[in-house]
Chain A
Amino acid sequence: MMRIELVKRPERSKLFAALSPFIALGLTLIAGAIMFSVLGKNPVEALYYYFIDPLREVWSLHELAVKAAPLILIAVGLSICYLSNNWNIGAEGQFIVGAIVGSILPVMFPDFQSWIVLPLMLLMGIAGGAAYGAIPAYLKVRFNTNEILTSLMLVYVAQLFLDWMVRGPWRNPAGMNFPETRTFSPSAVLPEIWSASGRANWGFVFAIVAAVALWFMLSRTLKGFEVLVLGQSPRAGRFAGFSQSRMVFFAFLVSGGLAGLAGISEVSGAIGQLRPTISPGYGFAAIIVAFLGRLNPLGIIAAGLVLALSYLGGEAAQISIGVSDKVVRAFQGMLLFFVLACDTLILYRIRFVGASAAKTVEATQNV
């Protein structure tokens, strides 16, 4: 039988640190081609509709930006969490609560129309997301409760709460009983960047600004150093005088706030009202984006575009060759698997050892 052995590299491989996301993408494409063949589709054609066709027209590039904006915003926040060893997997919930809190003004005070409405909405969205993210942070710091489970449970709570809001107290009085709020007035709508050519709104600009700002913080400031030290060695961090508890709050507030901003931007920019479902799983796909971008905010911009492309490609392939859009999530899951597997190459060399050869290899090594 063949055995796989890991041989630790003397230091991190810079080559594979740069290459591994691309290897992972390549492997995902191969696995995807196999999957499409099994489904009885021409794999080349299917992959074309997934990854090339959406890039051919300008309006479609706008759609790409619309989908990438929430993914990048959430994922750069998550990168702070994961780098500092805080496992926030409830960004979907923080996204939803940000959207709800940000929508208070346009839904409850539709007559309040002024230039100040939109900035207030965005700030409230950030505050809502951050506050919701603060719950698992507080429980972790105060009671030592596992943040993975609490942050995830709160996703279900947020989804159910939104469902109640749009069917109950916030339902559009003139909406024929549809489960949705009133549509936002023009002053509450996030403007499009360049409306002559497509739908992309300012959410994408926020995403790029957030990514660059967090990249600067991580690579050029003491706070960024603190994030990395506490993530890699809490003990060393304590000796340096960094507070673990404050880092937990910092990570969750930043990521929750950004997820909240993504939520209100999506509702105000792309949808224009609250509905029972406002996210096709952005909060979870952003986890994949964060890892595909190697937890580097600039890498995350590229990774966010890739995942956004998979959503768009899913829609295109459903229309053109009748592949279900359910395939998208399977694709995304595979991608994360390959990314994690390829990251092993950064720290280890992989050696295949045949059962009979194993002894000789060991023997020659001992010489």
Chain B
Amino acid sequence: MFEDILITIATAATPLLIAAVGEVVVERSGVLNLGVEGMMVMGAVTGFGVALTTGSPWLGVVAAIIVGALFSLLFGFLTLTLVTNQVATGLALTLLGLGLAGMLGESFVGLPGIKMSYLYIPGLSDLPVVGKLLFGQDPLFYVSIALTAGVAYFLFRTRAGLTLRSIGDNHTSAHALGIKVIAIRYMAVMFGGACAGLAGAYLSLVYTPQWNENMTAGRGWIALALVVFASWRPWRVLAGAYLFGAVSIGQLHAQALGIGVPSQLLSSLPYLATVVVLVLISRNRRLTMVNTPASLGRPFVPDR
């Protein structure tokens, strides 16, 4: 029982983790992409549709990653090449994604989806308590952990990561040093898009193997909040994602037990928790100032 709850928490946390870690890279390069929800829902509909037509959830995952990255290019072109307002463009990406996904997925509504099978690591998954949690999960769970580790290593242990962070902190200086600010930001944005697409595919292929147009239910926005909560650090994103996973699974169990609080009010807990957490983390102004990439959201036009 306890073991099962832990596993469902991991299932609820994984899509948040994948999307948020991708956004960490984007924001560390100084770009604020508020379109996570839109890219995620595009990934969800693509993953579901491709898995359904080909019969292979893995092809669905790959297609979702590609579509997520391509979709984020739209945002990249507007904000990086045409220097549009990043907040407004991110919103536009979300609205467009929700609209397109609703349209593309209309014929999928109500169809049974394909669920990705679990990956049991022989021997280790039989360990008591942590066995199934650590070694008997869906394959994307392992991907999410590896992704977190990889991004943490890349950002803080490699030269390329340092370059990316330097652009995020001061794009004018980075440009003066001969760093290709815009090209690197394009790559960061596409990485974020790919991650959001993958997170969407997780929702429609693992979390609830079906399609409906509201299935992301604000998770893209919660992922954005997680990035702030984690002060742009991958391992803290992991902690935050599991905290949110615990809140949303906790409220589901409370609903099942029927503790007398209306289900709708319990369902609003993850959203309220997001607000509370944001308040707690942002009330320390100095700490936020130190951690926020200094060029975040600011437009950059290279002067020759």
Contacts and interface: CB of A to CB of B under 8 A. Distances in A.
Contacts of B265: 160-161, 164
Interface of B: 34, 74, 78, 81-85, 87-89, 91-93, 95-100, 102-103, 106, 213, 217-218, 221-222, 224-225, 228, 262-265, 267-268, 271-272, 274-275, 278-279, 282-283, 285, 288, 301, 304
Interface string A155-199: 011001101100110000000000000000000000000000000
A202 interface: no
B92 A336 contact: yes
B99 A326 contact: yes
Contact of B221 (A153, A337, A350): A153
A60 interface: no
Contacts of B81: 4, 6
Contacts of B89: 337, 340
20 contacts: A8-B301, A146-B278, A148-B87, A149-B225, A153-B225, A153-B274, A156-B218, A163-B264, A164-B265, A288-B95, A326-B106, A330-B100, A330-B103, A333-B97, A333-B100, A334-B99, A337-B92, A337-B96, A344-B82, A344-B83
A143 interface: yes
Nearest to B105: A326
Contacts of B92: 288, 333, 336-337, 340
A139 interface: yes
Q: Which of A167, A328, A331, A341 has the most CB of B within 10 A?
A: A341
Contact of B218 (A143, A153, A161): A153
Given A326-B106, A329-B102, A164 B85 contact: no
Nearest to B89: A340
B100 A344 contact: no
Given A148-B87, A160-B268, A329 B95 contact: yes
Contacts of A232: none
A87 interface: yes
B275 A154 contact: yes
Nearest to B37: A152
Interface string A122-158: 0000000000000000010001111011101110110
Contacts of B282: 143-146
A340 B278 contact: no
Contact of A145 (B97, B98, B213, B278): B278
A340 B84 contact: yes
A348 B100 contact: no
A151 B98 CA distance: 19
Contacts of A152: 218, 221
- Give the size range of A's interface with the partner: 35 or more
Nearest to A157: B268
Given A8-B301, A149-B221, A334-B96, A143 B103 contact: no
A328 B97 CA distance: 12
A81 to B, nearest CB: 11
Contacts of B96: 330, 333-334, 336-337
Given A149-B274, A153-B271, A144 B264 contact: no
A149 B37 CA distance: 12
A279 B3 CA distance: 41
Contacts of B34: 148
Contact of A332 (B78, B99, B268, B275): B99
A160 B91 contact: no
Interface of A: 4, 6, 8, 82, 87, 89, 139, 143-146, 148-150, 152-154, 156-157, 160-161, 163-164, 167-168, 284, 287-288, 291, 324, 326-334, 336-337, 340-341, 343-344, 348, 350, 362
Which secondary structure dominates chain B's binding surface? helix
A163 B304 CA distance: 56
A154 to B, nearest CB: 7
B224 A149 contact: yes
Contacts of A164: 262-265
A6 B99 contact: no
A156 B217 contact: yes
Contacts of A153: 218, 221-222, 225, 271-272, 274-275
A8 B299 CA distance: 13
B228 A143 contact: no
Given A287-B95, A329-B103, 10 more contacts: A144-B285, A146-B228, A150-B279, A153-B221, A164-B263, A288-B92, A336-B88, A336-B91, A337-B78, A344-B83
A287 B102 CA distance: 19
Nearest to A167: B264
A341 B84 contact: yes
A89 B91 contact: yes
A6 B81 CA distance: 8
A336 B83 contact: no
A93 to B, nearest CB: 10
A332 B94 CA distance: 11
Contacts of A87: 87
Given A150-B275, A156-B217, A341-B82, A161 B264 contact: yes
A362 B268 CA distance: 57
Given A146-B278, A333-B95, A337-B74, A6 B301 contact: yes
Contacts of B103: 324, 326-327, 329-330
B99 A329 contact: yes
B176 to A, nearest CB: 18
Contacts of A336: 88, 91-92, 95-96
The 10 closest A-B pairs by CB, nearest first: A333-B96, A329-B99, A330-B99, A164-B264, A336-B92, A333-B95, A344-B82, A143-B283, A160-B264, A326-B102
Contacts of A89: 91
A164 B269 CA distance: 14
Contacts of A326: 99, 102-103, 106, 213
Contacts of A343: 84
A168 B106 contact: no
A263 B33 CA distance: 30
